[in-house]
Structure 1
Amino acid sequence: MSRKTINLLLLLCANLPMSVSAQKTVDVHAEYSYEVGENDNITLREARRKCLELAKAEAIKAEFGELITSDVIDTNVETNGEATSSFFWENTVAMAKGDWLGDTQPPQFDVQYIDNKLIFKVEVWGKAREIVQSKAELKWKILKDTDGEKEETNRFRNGEKVYLSFRSPADGYLAVYLIMGDDDTACLLPYKNEPSGRFQIKRGKEYMFFDREVDPSAYQYKLSTKYAMEDNQLVVIYSPNPFTKCNDVTGDAKHPNSLNTHDFQKWLLRCQRADSDMIVNKRWVKIRQ
């Protein structure tokens, strides 16, 4: 064996422990407080869920730091149904430089009422994995139809149709879920008539989902709520590696397949543990009557 070959083998072996170490999981912990004012249009369940999600993001950021980029959407603050000011809505969880892989003990909640505000406090413990390399940069938007034109938004009226545009720089597989306010999660993609349970995408192709004018075989979805206002969460899952959607319950002709949100979260965590290339993006959508 030549000296050059031996040196190459030694170099590869020397680098191997560093790569393995970079992918190891660590224990993380954080506390977080989330305030709900008396004029905030949010249910207690939604506030609790947001507080929990942001606490997990804080735990990851405390251990691994933050990513440079984040999802920011310019939107409007509404008072009595009218837009009064502009602000930047930021997807904080997307900034955490790691993946939450599961709880190591149940989160502890405390709720207090102080100065006309409900203050949710939560303490979380879990396992997390650092994002050690750049993953595929996904381009996707939540859209609705306004005067015949598709516009990006995270605010919907009850019964309005939702669309999603998507583009990836690499071939892969895609799933889209909607976490609803009633502890159910709907599978929007793959469509329920897809026997493989997978949706394969091609790099560089611009997709417009849930639009029958673009794809006559597409399923269309309307966002709805029985409350004055409700927050749902759209979850986009991508991987260059094949994965099959979760084991859900077949919906009727008017409803997508769905499952309990707790079961969905368990399935998603199992997928993330098994696939370090998987990307999970989440964005909130607000629905009002």
Structure 2
Amino acid sequence: PPTYVDEERKINGKDGKEIEIWITCTIKGTVKKAMPKANIIYQTLNCPEFTCRTTDFFSGESLYLHFKSPVNGYLSVFLRDGNTVYRLLPYDDMTEKYHKAVPVKGDEEYILFSKKDKYFDNENVNELELFTYLKHAYNSIYIIFAEEPYTKPLLDQDQVSEYKERYRSPKSLSLEDFNIWLSGNRALMDSFQDRRVKIKIVKD
């Protein structure tokens, strides 16, 4: 805890001798050197090719994500829709070792959410479609990366979607709980970073 020391000092004031009170506060702690974060590359796509970069989608279009990091690390991806945040990666049916975040290799190109995605031991891929009943809607994609493993947030189970038969919405949590989770990880890990891409979905 901080310590405080009071000290009285006599000075010459305009009306003669005056007393000043000086308070010294001593705080002991540790500091750590700030390190630059990895310069990751990420782009939303509407087809599983690098040339399909876009942040504007029609309702019913597929979503893909291009990702590349200069270093090895761990990746997860979320989508915010209003006050609900859906986890898109790791995929829902991944095995225990991919439960928190997926490992990625430095300097390797990834196109996620594609049938061709064979990066993670041929785990089942969740293919994604964006939709809206509104004239247009804005969502945010969060790309979460760290060089060290991190714990996932507490999630609700996936739900049957009203969009199409046999479609399901990914596991989710509230925006408030998501922000608390982000803040905790930012405070604990120097390499932890969350990047956001705002996307627009237009009703076709």
What is the TM-score normalised by the length of structure 1? 0.52
Within the candidate set 178, 184, 195, 1:270 is matched to 184
Q: Secondary structure at the match of 2:31?
A: helix
Q: Secondary structure at the match of 2:181?
A: helix
Within the candidate set 93, 112, 115, 1:209 is matched to 112
Partners of 1:210 and 1:219 within 8 A in 2: yes
Does the alignment pair 1:250 with 2:151? no
Superposition deviation, residue 150 in structure 1:
4.8
What is the TM-score normalised by the length of structure 2? 0.72
| Backbone CA RMSD of aligned residues | 2.3
Cα-to-partner distance string for 1:135-185 (whole Å, 9 max, x where unaligned): 111011110029x8851000001111100011111111011000113x110
Kindly indicate whether structure 1 or structure 2 has the higher relative contact order, using CA contacts under 8 Å at least 6 residues apart. 2
Does the alignment pair 1:151 with 2:151? no
- Partners of 1:21 and 1:138 in 2: how far apart? 23
Within the candidate set 173, 176, 192, 2:92 is matched to 192
Within the candidate set 40, 43, 48, 1:138 is matched to 40
Matched positions, count: 162
Alignment correspondent of 1:166: 67
Q: Secondary structure at the match of 1:267?
A: helix
Superposition deviation, residue 244 in structure 1:
2.1
- Partners of 1:21 and 1:212 in 2: how far apart? 43
Q: Secondary structure at the match of 2:35?
A: coil
Does the alignment pair 1:287 with 2:201? yes
Structure with the larger helix share: 1
Alignment correspondent of 2:4: none
Partners of 1:175 and 1:190 within 8 A in 2: yes
Which ranges in structure 2 are unaligned for 5 or more consecutive residues? 1-27, 160-166
Alignment correspondent of 1:235: 142
Which ranges in structure 1 are unaligned for 5 or more consecutive residues? 1-16, 23-131
- Partners of 2:125 and 2:148 in 1: how far apart? 24
Q: Secondary structure at the match of 2:52?
A: strand
Partners of 1:192 and 1:250 within 8 A in 2: no
- Partners of 1:21 and 1:145 in 2: how far apart? 43
Per the alignment, do residues 279 and 149 of structure 1 end up closer, same or farther by CA in structure 2, a change over 3 Å counting?
A: closer
For the pair shown, the structure with the greater C-alpha radius of gyration is: 2
Within the candidate set 25, 31, 39, 1:20 is matched to 31
Does the alignment pair 1:225 with 2:139? no
